[in-house]
Amino acid sequence: MNVEMTVNGKTVKADTSPSLLLSDFLRENLNLTGTHVGCDTSQCGACVVHIDGVSMKSCTLLAVTVDGKSVTTIEGLARTANADLHPMQLAFHHNHGLQCGFCTPGMIMSAVDFAKRTPNPTEGDVRHWLEGNICRCTGYQNIVAAVLAGAAAMQAQAGG
Amino acid sequence: MNVHTGIGASILRKEDRRFITGKGNYVADIKRPDMVMGVFLRSPHAHALIKGIDIKVAAALPGVAAIFTGADLAADKVGGLPCAWGVSNADGKPMKEPPRSAMAVDKVRCVGDAVAFVIADTVEQAREAADAIEVDYEVLPAVVGVLDAIRPGAAAVFDDIPDNTCFDWECGDAKATAAAFKNAAHVAKISLVNNRLVGNPMEPRAAVAEYDAGRDHYTMWTTSQFPHVVKVLMGNFVLNIPQHKLRIVAPDVGGGFGVKQFLYAEEIITTWASRKVGRPVKWVNERSEGFLSDAHGRDHVSEAELALDETGKFLGLKVRTVANMGGYLSTFGPNIPTNLYGLLLAGVYTTPAIHCEVKGVFTNTVPVDAYRGAGRPEATFLLERLVDVAASEMKIDKAEIRRKNMIDASQYPYQTPVIVKYDSGDPKACLEKALEDSDWGGFAKRKEESKARGKLRGIGLCTYVEACGLAPSRIVQSLGARAGIFESATVRVHVTGDVTVLIGTHNHGQGHETTFAQIVSEKLSIPADKIEIVFGDTDRVQFGLGTYGSRSLAVGGTALAKATDKIIAKGAKIAAHMLEAGEGDIVFENGSFAVQGTDRSKSFGDVVGAAYGLVNFPVDVLEPGMEAQAFYDPVNFTYPGGAHIAEVEIDPECGSVDLVSYIAVDDIGTVINPMIVAGQLHGGIAQGVGQALFENCVYDETSGQMLSASFMDYCMPRADNMPNMEIVTLSTLCTHTSFGVKGCGEVGTIGSPATVINAVVDALSHLGVSHVDMPATPSRIWRIIHNSANQLRAAE
Ligand code: FES
Ligand code: FES
């Protein structure tokens, strides 16, 4: 089946099988391996990307269902901030919000969408939102701190 | 140097950038030209004879390149998976060590045992073909629980081991312990289960193997915590590949927690198959497949007794544990419930007599091996639960009973009655700090406040000690290790003065690229960003034993410091020549080599330049270049320890346990990077909290099916299950490592299960509850509350 979508600002056309998952399409066909696969039951969130700006688990979507849409992966995130790094990426770095880094792209993509929806989040808001993302390394404490800091930085950027 | 990037600086991690931008290079990301994909067909039965495997239909399906079974491996003389640690029975006889073929040949011994490896152009094709393979099984009765497995008449996992017993190990002094119990004023008892866990690093295991026929050479990329050990075990013991023809690369690895420190069948089969099919072969575990094929952790059933005098002093400790080995012996399996468990049972207490018996038992389950903490969380859980039981039975404050029995700082080095000798520590200081920071004394008030809201509040305390920093080769070999354990590091100073470090440990989240750079930065006074840390590639790093057991900094970091010392010594030689001074007169300070007592000096850069520039260099007495290697084998383990305190609130209506506060006071020796240490503690505590409250690997007792084989059924902590934790570190110095470092990777996981369960039991103590098995799930707690309430009512 033919699909056409925009991935990180570039138009992508492909002839894919109807059963191909978006996560596999990104990783295998486009070599965008920043999107990770950590489970087969849509529980871990390592695969989160943005579809038309909304965070989604790319392992639960078929590539063909994204036809005509715009996809942003971790590799394209900085573009949306017009900077070397997105404020949320920087916040994860500054707050030691990652250890092995495997959950990190999914966490960051999820957090960016959250921060857009929730301009002045509380710690409880963050913990609640991150329910769909598992991190086995950090105990979440620094991830929560990173998301709060990233959200504040995004807010400041939007305001400024 | 403008910014301090050495010891004690919380500098940001050098490795972060590639991870936050999606540029990490994990094994599943690797592609090779002409690569084919492998899929394992795994047994759906826990215990069955393989009567036949028919691959005809499957082999003819589109895209299929090859299908291999255990018989093919055997025909090609592929060896079995070796066990790297043997233990002895109490009578001195060696443990039973049945052979373990890389792929099942005539019998499967757990659900998930691999029976065929299918290779095709795509994963989908390989899966379809695997589905089309016909295996004729004769299903046998299975045993799952350890107590069932040692009952007379239980099904035998191995025909020639009818009692399913791998070993009957003991440590300590049975006679002295029996005598201590005779003199006891009180004996506290407990029976408990240490639940089976699945490590579940977020990155599933994977392997990519490429055979180069032109060079007769293999490269295998794998998710491993110790690539050199994979190279030795697999090359030398299984596939018979000379070491110089085998390269193992463990690039970015997405968490390990012990699970990735074993030699796995998939690594062997993928590597072997790459030669057979003449194309690179890639295999990536699916998560539910990982549940069935990653080695598991814990799984003990224990009974323990503590003898006390009338004042609450511990006189003796008796422990009997039955430990599950699973269906086969994993790489370090026998070492975990013996040496890493029994030898830590003294804890931080002065108990004079200890006796521990451990029976290792085969069952039809996934093999059990080291998982974060490995043996030490089990020892701590047992001991600290028992101490709480003793305290409440004798009506002594839980802090007081610990204080009374603790080893005093002045008693170090402290010889325990179970072989190990703690070099340094101050458990009382940790305890007092934790009591103070947690406002232990103010708990009653908080309990009242909770009660007013209809909640049951409990406080839990745990103290612990850990033996880590594996090495001491002499000691570990006396305990059954079949090789030496040490570490190596090479410091390569480039012509420009930039430094590359090649180290044998592996970084999979611990922040080594930053911490190790800080060590070199401290010693050479150069900024950490001029230092690159290379690991995980056996072609680049000469040798190393990898990362597990919190050994990286204590053993690897010390090797690195020693290699750096050799660089400084070489530099001093060169500087002496340049400054026309005696070598003994040169001191290295603040990045310069100076003639003592003068203002004549040469900068590090000048000296490095001379080492490569060879201007007027007396090459007959001084070798050019600037590179040094050191191997380090310490004299003892390191012994981090500490005290943790947690408070929980239980909702009696639904049984849910809310962890409301957690304080960890840990003595981990010198801290190189406080930010990284806090992160390690957070993660470690979360994993222990996971065991205490959520995680449980459950098998159906009759069929041997795993009932918790996905993230839907195996519950791990998520962001809203964890509180913000308070991390405090104290530092008594380890006496034999560089800078006195001890290690911190596992301490959180060692202290937290007992801390949390002690708090849960405390919250329920008014109901007469003295123990709660892990995990303390809402349904378990709800049932306890209701049963006790009914009992109380009946008694009234
Ligand atoms: S891989 Fe998508 S949720 Fe786990
Ligand atoms: S950083 Fe390793 S899983 Fe989150």
- What is the per-residue pLDDT across A1-17, written as a single tens digit (0 to 9) for each? 899 999 999 999 999 99
Q: Please write the tens of the pLDDT for every residue from B573-586.
A: 999 999 999 999 99
Percent of chain B with pLDDT over 90: 94
Tell me, in angstroms, the distance from the centre of ligand 2 to residue B203's CA.
Answer: 9
Q: Please write the tens of the pLDDT for every residue from B384-428.
A: 999 999 999 999 999 999 999 999 999 999 999 999 999 999 999
Give phi and psi for B233, each to the nearest 5.
-65, -50
Backbone conformation region of residue B630, classed left if phi is above 0, alpha if psi is from -120 to 50, else beta: beta
Q: Average the pLDDT over each of B111-120, B637-646, B785-794 and give the range with the smallest value.
A: B785-794
Average pLDDT of the residues in B5-16: 95
Tell how far CA B630 is from the center of its chain: 25
Q: Pick from A141, A143, A144, A148 the residue to mutate for testing the B interface (most B CBs within 10 Å).
A: A141
| Contact between B719 and A43 using a beta-carbon 8 Å cutoff | no
**What's the token pair of residue B412?**
């170090």
Fill in the amino acid letter for B366. V
Tell me, in angstroms, the distance from the centre of ligand 2 to residue A55's CA.
Answer: 19
Verify whether ligand 2 is closer than 6 Å to residue A101 (CB atom): yes
Check pLDDT > 80 for residue B3: no
Average pLDDT of the residues in B758-776: 97
What pLDDT sits at residue B484?
Answer: 85
Tell me, in angstroms, the distance from the centre of ligand 2 to residue A134's CA.
Answer: 8
- The number of beta carbons lying within 10 Å of the beta carbon of residue B453 is 9
Average pLDDT of the residues in B510-535: 96
Nearest to A147, CA basis, from B14, B719, B659, B658 = B719
Residue B507: pLDDT band (50, 70, 90) is: very high
Residue B359: pLDDT band (50, 70, 90) is: very high
Average pLDDT of the residues in B34-52: 98
Give the separation between CA B357 and CA B354, rounded to whole angstroms. 10
Tell me, in angstroms, the distance from the centre of ligand 2 to residue B698's CA.
Answer: 25
Give the separation between CA B204 and CA A37, rounded to whole angstroms. 8
Give the separation between CA A110 and CA A53, rounded to whole angstroms. 11
Q: Smallest Cβ distance to A46: which of B12, B31, B202? A: B202
B720 interfacial to chain A (CB closer than 8 Å): yes
The residues near B763 (Cβ < 8 Å, ≥ 6 apart) are B456, B457, B458, B648, B649, B650
Contact in structure between B453 and B462 (CB atoms under 8 Å)? no
DSSP-assigned beta bridge partners for residue B534: B502
More confidently predicted of B463 and B623: B463
| Contact between B509 and A133 using a beta-carbon 8 Å cutoff | no
Nearest to B180, CA basis, from B353, B402, B417 = B353
Q: Show the beta-strand stretches assigned E in B668-776.
A: 725-730
pTM to 2 decimals? 0.97
Verify whether ligand 1 is closer than 6 Å to residue A43 (CB atom): yes
What pLDDT sits at residue B481?
Answer: 86
Average pLDDT of the residues in B452-459: 98
What residues in B contact A124, CB-CB < 8 Å? 720
Which ligand approaches the C-alpha of residue A22 most closely?
A: 1
Q: How many CA atoms lie within 13 A of A14 on its CB side?
A: 21
B724 interfacial to chain A (CB closer than 8 Å): yes
Verify whether ligand 1 is closer than 6 Å to residue A57 (CB atom): yes
Verify whether ligand 1 is closer than 6 Å to residue A65 (CB atom): no
Give the separation between CA B318 and CA B355, rounded to whole angstroms. 5
Give phi and psi for B232, each to the nearest 5.
-70, -50
What pLDDT sits at residue B1?
Answer: 45
Residue B408: DSSP 8-state: P
* Nearest Cα residue to atom 3 of ligand 2: A135
Q: How many CA atoms lie within 13 A of B590 on its CB side?
A: 5
The residues near B567 (Cβ < 8 Å, ≥ 6 apart) are B491, B493, B524, B626, B627, B628
Q: What ipTM score was computed for the predicted complex, to two decimals?
A: 0.98
Verify whether ligand 2 is closer than 6 Å to residue A98 (CB atom): yes
- The number of beta carbons lying within 10 Å of the beta carbon of residue B498 is 14
Give the separation between CA B541 and CA B530, rounded to whole angstroms. 19
The owner of tokens 């929560």 is: A144
Which ligand approaches the C-alpha of residue A38 most closely?
A: 1
Tell me how far CA of residue B603 lies from CA of B575, B597, B606, in angstroms: 9, 16, 5
Helix (H) or strand (E) holding B154: none
DSSP-assigned beta bridge partners for residue B501: B491, B533
Fill in the amino acid letter for B141. P
Check pLDDT > 60 for residue A147: yes
Task: Determine the length of chain A.
Answer: 160
What residues in B contact A104, CB-CB < 8 Å? 19-20
Check pLDDT > 90 for residue B559: yes
Residue B204: DSSP 8-state: P
| Window B:95-124, CB contacts with A under 8 Å | 124
Check pLDDT > 80 for residue B39: yes
Check pLDDT > 80 for residue B304: yes
The owner of tokens 């612990």 is: B464
- Find the angle CA(B744)-CA(B746)-CA(B751) to the nearest 5 degrees: 105
Give the separation between CA B706 and CA B46, rounded to whole angstroms. 9
| Contact between A136 and B687 using a beta-carbon 8 Å cutoff | yes
Q: Smallest Cβ distance to B201: which of A27, A96, A136? A: A136
Query: What is the arrangement of strands in the sheet containing B657-667, beginning at the earlier edge strand?
Result: B456-465, B641-650, B657-667, B725-730
Tell me, in angstroms, the distance from the centre of ligand 2 to residue A37's CA.
Answer: 13
| B277 SS3 class | helix
More confidently predicted of B473 and B648: B648
**Exposed e or buried b for every residue in B281-296, given b needs 16+ CB within 10 A?**
bbbbbbbbbbbbbbbb
Helix (H) or strand (E) holding B112: none
What pLDDT sits at residue B788?
Answer: 83
What pLDDT sits at residue B2?
Answer: 55
Residue B397: DSSP 8-state: -
The residues near B682 (Cβ < 8 Å, ≥ 6 apart) are A138, A139, A140, A141, A142, B725, B727, B748
| Contact between A40 and B287 using a beta-carbon 8 Å cutoff | yes
B62 interfacial to chain A (CB closer than 8 Å): no
